[in-house]
A and B are shown apart, each in its own frame.
Chain A
Amino acid sequence: MSALTLPDVLFLGVAAFTVITAMGVAFSRNIVYSAFSLMGTFMSVAALYVFLAADFVAVVQVLIYVGGILILILFAVMLTHRIADVSISNRSVGRLPALGIAIVIGVLMTTAVRRGGWHQVEVAPATPTTAQIGDLFLTHYLLPFELASVVLLAALIGAAFLSRKELKDI
């Protein structure tokens, strides 16, 4: 066992925080606690992205997940009632079969990770990535980028259509 350096300790801390908050999401009996645990998971996953030298993706993660999706989830939680009632708000059934499936898949994937023999390259020093990502989006990935804007427009119109009030008797 080699000595732990400061980045290793930081990584272990962030990884432990990620796992603990994700367990909070999966096992909490109150959906509001689950939602706030989810915020911790998103933040610590953003920290993991920083460890992976992906600064732009980390900022996007904080902006979109924590600033957008999580607020949306909290709105939906608050707009549907009987939240305060713990036994109703986050019921979970079929725990044993689900646990079995999760453990089987977990063991399979652990074996895959251990025996993978992944191709690895020399890790380049971390540099700012924003300019290169912007270049790629406007050259090699231009078509997916434009398609993404169409998808977002469709999602916007679809959500507004789904959640509007019905106009009656016109």
Chain B
Amino acid sequence: MIGLNGFLIVSLIVFVLGLYCVLTRRNAIGILMGVELILNSANINYLAFARYSAGTYDGQIFALFVIMLAAAEAVIGLAIVLGIYQTFHTIDVEATETLRG
């Protein structure tokens, strides 16, 4: 009874929640958490289609690359967040608007 659609629906809900998190958070770390949710939902889709729609391993390889890039993104993002914190003494993204014209 569990089919492709079940996994697609779960991944859809996780994606929408991640999108909401990215749109509403003003804490830079909170935004990064939303991005991680979105990447996870994309991974669920890759694996679901790899199993139910392709029957090959290519989707799993792609999921591994996504996980690798998510790790790199988290490292760089959090290093930037710490740099912002050292400069502005806050990580509220609305307070760091030096470049606003």
Interface residues of A (CB under 8 A from B): 2, 4-5, 7-8, 11, 15, 18-19, 22-23, 25-26, 31, 34-35, 38, 41-42, 45, 48-49, 51-54, 56-57, 60-61, 64-65, 68-69, 72-73, 75-77, 79-80, 88-95, 97-99, 101-103, 105-106, 109-110, 113-114, 118-124, 129, 132-133, 136-137, 141, 144, 148, 151-152, 154-156, 158-159, 162-163
Q: How far is the CB of A112 from chain B (nearest CB, A)?
A: 9
A100 to B88, CA, bound (A): 32
- Tell me if A93 and B82 are in contact (CB < 8 A): no
User: Contacting B27 at CB < 8 Å: which of A15, A72, A90, A159?
Assistant: A90
Which bracket fits the contact residues of B?
35 or more
The minimal Cβ–Cβ distance linking B47 to chain A, given in whole angstroms, is 4
* Main secondary structure on B side of the interface with A: helix
Residues of B within 8 A of A (CB): 1-2, 4-10, 12-21, 23-27, 29-30, 32-34, 36-37, 40, 43-44, 47-55, 57-58, 60-61, 63-65, 67-72, 74-76, 78-83, 85, 91-92, 94
* Contact B71–A25 (Cβ < 8 Å): no
A52 interface neighbour in B25, B47, B58, Cβ under 8 Å: B47
- Pairwise interchain contact A151-B57, C-beta atoms closer than 8 A: no
B50 touches A155 (CB 8 A): no
Q: A8-B2, A11-B6, A155-B72 are in contact. List 11 more A-B contacts (CB 8 A).
A: A4-B1, A22-B18, A26-B24, A38-B37, A64-B67, A73-B29, A94-B23, A102-B19, A109-B12, A113-B8, A123-B55
Which B residues are CB-close (under 8 A) to A132? 57
Residues of chain A lying within 8 A (CB to CB) of residue B15: 109
Given contacts A41-B40, A80-B81, contact A121 B47 (CB under 8 A): no
Q: Is the CB of B30 within 8 A of A34?
A: yes
Known: A118-B4, A129-B57. A105 touches B19 (CB 8 A): yes
